[in-house]
């Protein structure tokens, strides 16, 4: 795994191709499950049409001799029968929820994306840390309460002494570290402010593979940046090393939304604008150490709520 919290431009920040950008020495990439071979489809054999037995001679004779109205009545009866069958089929389709609605257009998806980013941006902040052995860091965080509680990754703030929060409107506010849980890679900061816009927190247990997701944060120090993708997988695990100790983080959400250094601690949101995860790690290609594009991991929002409650004495959730 590769850490995504620290801006490479920050002074004296150690880098490692398989580590987070905190004082971390390594992370184990998730194991890729084997792909089952695709079965070769078998072409069904066509069934020869069954010949319709000829009508008995007497029916042919009746049709031909003196009963000129009987074919018309037969045709009318067939039409009525067809109408009944067709009508019942339509009603059954409606009762079973059949729908002919079309998929959303590209314009609809674009409008939804713009709306989500517009609503989420004010709740996402940039976090700048200074001091300590690492010199400094740049990461991201989310406003949880209107009076200034903010959640981020532990490795964004770990080992540093002073913190500054950059709001979406450009205002910079000093922050205090309320608590951190390095084993869970989560931390809580507090700024003295009012009327901030808290982010809407979603239920990560309802996240499904394939749904759209947006990552909002400060990749490479570029505040209020957004990337898009989907939920790629659920319940991934990763190992981080903090101060020489190895910790396994479980229940991670895998996403194809690009996660870069500085995204750590930011927001992974769904198309309802709800926080479903905290972007934390990105995968690297084992043989080269190069970042693996489109493979990022986020701590689930439900796990975040549990840890934040522990760090704040249950004051937030």
pLDDT in tens, 125-141: 999 999 977 788 999 99
Whether 301 is covered by a domain: the verdict is yes
Does 157 map to a domain? yes
Give yes or no for a contact between 44 and 52, defined as CB atoms under 8 angstroms apart: no
pLDDT of 166 above 50: yes
155 is catalytic: yes
User: For the residues 237-248, what does the mean pLDDT come to?
Assistant: 89
In a domain, 127, yes or no: yes
How many structural domains does the chain have?
A: 2
62 in any annotated domain: no
Range of the domain at 207: 2-9+18-28+112-119+199-312
Question: Which of the listed residues 168, 191, 214 is the one where a domain comes to its end?
Answer: 191
Among 155, 171, 191, which residue terminates a domain? 191
pLDDT on residue 75: 46
In this predicted structure, the answer to whether residue 44 has a pLDDT above a threshold of 60 is no
How far from 198 is each of 58, 82, 213, 266, CA to CA, in Å?
Answer: 85, 60, 19, 13
Does residue 96 sit within a domain? no
CA distance 121 to 152: 15
pLDDT mean across residues, the chain: 78
CATH of the domain at 181: 2.40.10.10
Backbone torsions φ then ψ of 92, nearest 5 degrees: -65, -40
**Greater model confidence, 65 or 179:** 179
- Asked if 15 contacts 5 with a C-beta cutoff of 8 angstroms, the reply is no
The sign one gets for the Cα dihedral 306, 309, 313, 315 is negative
What are the percentages of helix, strand and coil residues in the chain, rounded to 5? 25, 30, 45
Of the residues 7, 137, 185, 301, only one is catalytic, namely 185
pLDDT (0 to 100) of residue 243: 84
Q: Do 185 and 205 belong to one domain?
A: no
- Within 10 Å of residue 188's Cβ, how many Cβ atoms? 26
pLDDT at 287: 87
- Spot the catalytic one: 155, 158, 204, 225: 155
**pTM across the whole model:** 0.69
In a domain, 163, yes or no: yes
**C-alpha distances in Å from residue 108, one per residue of 103, 111, 114, 228:** 10, 5, 10, 15
Q: CB–CB of 145/196 below 8 Å?
A: yes
Catalytic residue (one of 5, 225, 232, 264) = 264
């Amino acid at each position: 795994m590769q850490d995504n919290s620290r801006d490479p431009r920050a002074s004296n920040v150690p880098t490692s191709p398989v580590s987070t950008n905190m004082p971390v020495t390594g992370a184990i990439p998730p194991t890729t499950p084997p792909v089952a071979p695709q079965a070769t489809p078998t072409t069904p054999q066509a069934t020869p049409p069954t010949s319709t037995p000829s009508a008995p001679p007497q029916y042919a004779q009746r049709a031909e001799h003196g009963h000129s109205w009987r074919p018309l009545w037969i045709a009318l009866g067939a039409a009525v029968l067809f109408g009944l069958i067709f009508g019942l089929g339509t009603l059954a389709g409606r009762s079973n929820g059949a729908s002919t609605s079309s998929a959303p257009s590209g314009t609809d998806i674009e409008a939804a994306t713009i709306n989500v980013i517009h609503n989420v941006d004010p709740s996402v902040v940039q976090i700048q840390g200074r001091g300590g052995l690492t010199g400094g860091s740049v990461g991201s965080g989310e406003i949880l309460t209107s009076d200034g509680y903010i959640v981020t990754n532990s490795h964004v703030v770990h080992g540093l002494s002073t913190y500054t929060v950059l709001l979406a409107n450009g205002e910079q506010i000093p922050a205090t570290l309320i608590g951190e849980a390095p084993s869970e890679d989560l931390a809580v900061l507090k700024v003295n402010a009012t009327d901030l816009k808290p982010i809407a927190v979603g239920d990560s247990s309802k996240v499904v593979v394939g749904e759209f997701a947006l990552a909002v944060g400060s990749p490479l120090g570029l505040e209020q940046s957004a990337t898009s993708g989907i939920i790629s997988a659920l319940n991934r695990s990763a190992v981080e090393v903090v101060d020489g100790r190895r910790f396994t983080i479980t229940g991670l959400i895998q996403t194809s939304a690009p996660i870069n250094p500085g995204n750590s601690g930011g927001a992974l949101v769904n198309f309802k604008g709800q926080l479903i995860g905290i972007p934390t790690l990105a995968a690297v290609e084992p043989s080269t150490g190069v970042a693996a594009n489109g493979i990022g991991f986020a701590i689930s929002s439900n796990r975040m709520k549990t840890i934040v409650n522990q760090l704040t004495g249950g004051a937030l959730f």
